[in-house]
Amino acid sequence: MLRNLAVPALALAVVATVPFSSPDSTESGQATDAWNPMSPVSVSYELAGHGGKGDSRTVKGNLLGFNDFHGAIDPPTGSGGLVNGTPAGGVEYLTSWVKKLRAEAKSERRESITVGAGDLVGATPLVSAAFHDEPSIELLNNAGLQISSVGNHEFDEGTTELQRLQRGGCHPVDGCQDGDGFKGAKFNYLAANVVKKNSGLPLLLPVDIRIVGGVPVGFVGMTLKGTPSIVNPAGITSVEFRDEIETANKWATLLRFVGVKSMVLLIHEGGAQSAPPNPQPVDGCANFAGPITNIVAGLRPEFGIVVSGHTHRFYSCQLPNSSGTPTVVTSAGSNGVLVTDIDFTLDKRSGKFAEIAARNVIVENGVRNPDGSWQTDPAGVPVRNPALVDKSAKKIADKYRTAVAPIANRVVGRITADITNTNNAAGESSLGDVIADAQLTYTTAAGAQIALMNPGGIRAPLTFANSPGGEAPGDVTYGECFTVQPFNNLVVTQTLTGAQLKEVLEQQFVGFGGQTVQRILQVSAGFTYSYDSTAAAGSKVSSLALNGTPIDPAASYRVTTNDFLANGGDGFTRLTGGTDRATAPGFDVDALVAYLGSGTPVGPGPQNRITRIA
């Protein structure tokens, strides 16, 4: 059997000398089976000498895939913990289902490989984040994960911390908090398109090879090229993120050079189904669209399988690659609510994929009533099924739950009603208002007059009835606050002119200042403006005012944001032009905690600060 590291090392040695070659449409053959976008994907390829599933010249394999785990040690709550009405997710249940599916594959004499497509860590609940996501890595090791691409959130704490998660060792500041050390990920994180600026080499392994019944299968892993715009720029200054298609095909050429003809792309980029129907089937590909479509269209035909992520949506598709033949493309939602079960057959003589079939399996964690519905407690929360808990995962998770409980369950304030992160027609949410107000209040000593908050940094609502630690309805715990704002961003106040402030707001819209995605910033009390989405880029924003007084383009204003935004995150490069920066003590979550605990219970924000004209 080949060693996992031998081929990456060889590939690195020859990368500069092997020319890029164009995809060859003869490599994969043509798909023969018709496929319905409303059903699980199944593809067969016409290969010379291939006689079907029972052919002695074929071998059978299996992939178990998931993505965007985000440290979901506990089952996700609310709608995020339901898959078309079925309660699902949580690492104790994910581990059980992965082991069950792995055993089924073994019973069919299929060699099974467990893979991920990024965002396994980052934006995690406090039970993982408080320990720098070591719990998530330890639990994924326990679940038998073998290979994963990096995602954008793997870079939340920078490249050095990502390398520590892979290789092990105590945190340089907080040490090994659980008292038993940290050995790092047993699985290989792949980062083919994340390249060190000083050497041109990938930050981590770019590829991996596994032998299935004597046939090599190559894995290439990468994150989306747009990662720099959605992580804190301060942590990724030493690397660059390269084009997904060009990178995948380059490494495919190198893998072919050492005899690999069947390849899997693990990529943290994806797409989504759309209605109708509604809800979408977990195995479907209804009205599919997204960046992954164009990426697959440019891939060499050796990439028979693409395990994708990032969009937090589930699907099972066949999409045409560069030769026009179908590639199977899957995603398993997020937070461990699904596992993608991919069966494949390899032709021993050619080394190519002969057949591929994929389905998404719901990681059920509930208890059914006799009528088929799901049991819930008096608060409407699904009752979890203890028979579906993996004992080994529970032992690890309980260790960290016990360690974090005194911090997580501390009541820090009160709310009067649900405060949601659901946007109105103008793009403003009640929780966005509250967080912006919290950051403004937190930085008054720095002279703050206005606060701006990126919507992507608001990860969950504050729910009046939620009582994770048994606290009274309306009480808010530190753990709940951290679930809302899990990134530990710093809070920065800087001076902008009125003209600069307007440009920042114009940069909310596609086409101005290099912005590629519309993102409506949440704003603090007293600051108002209007926008016309139909106006030309750079001329959409009008009527800027502070406490009723129009913003003066030539005047100076003290503006607070988190440091992710201040450093140009989410494409807001105009914020990097501020002056006289002052950094508040603590993190952005501390601003929210202080605000909720100021004495008077906090109600939902008014959602009246931003006016959409058209």
Cα separation, 574 vs 509, whole angstroms: 13
Closest CA to 140 of 191, 72, 209: 72
Please indicate, yes or no, whether residues 344 and 456 belong to a single structural domain of this protein. no
Q: Which of 48-57, 158-167, 238-247, 289-298 has the lowest mean pLDDT?
A: 48-57
209-255 pLDDT, tens digit each: 999 999 999 999 999 999 998 888 889 999 999 999 999 999 999 99
Full domain range(s) for residue 572: 410-612
Kindly tell me if the per-residue pLDDT of 56 is higher than 70. Answer: yes
DSSP count for the chain of H helices, then E strands: 13, 28
Q: Is residue 150 part of a domain?
A: yes
Kindly tell me if the per-residue pLDDT of 49 is higher than 70. Answer: no
The last residue of a domain, from among 333, 366, 396: 396
Please indicate, yes or no, whether residues 343 and 467 belong to a single structural domain of this protein. no
Please indicate, yes or no, whether residues 387 and 522 belong to a single structural domain of this protein. no
Please indicate, yes or no, whether residues 374 and 457 belong to a single structural domain of this protein. no
Q: Please give the tally of structural domains in the chain.
A: 2
Please indicate, yes or no, whether residues 376 and 472 belong to a single structural domain of this protein. no
Which residue is associated with the tokens 């479907």? 284
247-269 pLDDT, tens digit each: 999 999 999 999 999 999 999 99
What's the CATH number where 524 sits?
A: 3.90.780.10
Report the pLDDT averaged over residues 498-522: 96
Cα atoms in the Cβ-side hemisphere of radius 13 Å centred on 108: 18
Per-residue CA distances from 292 to 205, 272, 299, 329 (Å)? 22, 9, 11, 9
Q: Are 79 and 380 contacting, i.e. CB atoms less than 8 angstroms apart?
A: no
Q: Is residue 20 part of a domain?
A: no
What's the CATH number where 213 sits?
A: 3.60.21.10
Please indicate, yes or no, whether residues 340 and 439 belong to a single structural domain of this protein. no
Q: Is residue 17 part of a domain?
A: no
Q: Is residue 10 part of a domain?
A: no
| Token digits of residue 555 | 């005047």
The last residue of a domain, from among 396, 419, 440: 396
457-500 pLDDT, tens digit each: 999 999 999 888 889 999 999 999 999 999 989 999 999 999 99
Please indicate, yes or no, whether residues 425 and 374 belong to a single structural domain of this protein. no
Q: Is residue 373 part of a domain?
A: yes
391-428 pLDDT, tens digit each: 999 999 999 999 999 999 999 999 999 999 999 999 99
Please indicate, yes or no, whether residues 313 and 427 belong to a single structural domain of this protein. no
Q: Please, what's the largest Cα pairwise distance for the chain?
A: 80
- DSSP H helical ranges for 517-570: 563-566
Q: Are 224 and 152 contacting, i.e. CB atoms less than 8 angstroms apart?
A: yes
Q: Is residue 11 part of a domain?
A: no
Closest CA to 267 of 235, 240, 239, 299: 299
Q: Is residue 83 part of a domain?
A: yes
Percent of the chain with pLDDT over 70: 93
The last residue of a domain, from among 396, 420, 445: 396
Q: Is residue 551 part of a domain?
A: yes
Report the pLDDT averaged over residues 146-161: 96
Please indicate, yes or no, whether residues 349 and 454 belong to a single structural domain of this protein. no
Per-residue CA distances from 163 to 158, 191, 328, 414, 488 (Å)? 9, 11, 31, 39, 19
Please indicate, yes or no, whether residues 310 and 168 belong to a single structural domain of this protein. yes
Per-residue CA distances from 49 to 24, 56, 57, 409 (Å)? 20, 11, 9, 63
Please indicate, yes or no, whether residues 492 and 553 belong to a single structural domain of this protein. yes
Cα separation, 280 vs 315, whole angstroms: 9
- Per-residue pLDDT, 14: 40
115-144 pLDDT, tens digit each: 999 999 998 999 999 999 999 999 999 999
- Per-residue pLDDT, 428: 98
Report the pLDDT averaged over residues 343-366: 97
Neighbours of 32 (CB within 10 A): 10
373-385 pLDDT, tens digit each: 999 998 788 999 9
Please indicate, yes or no, whether residues 389 and 414 belong to a single structural domain of this protein. no
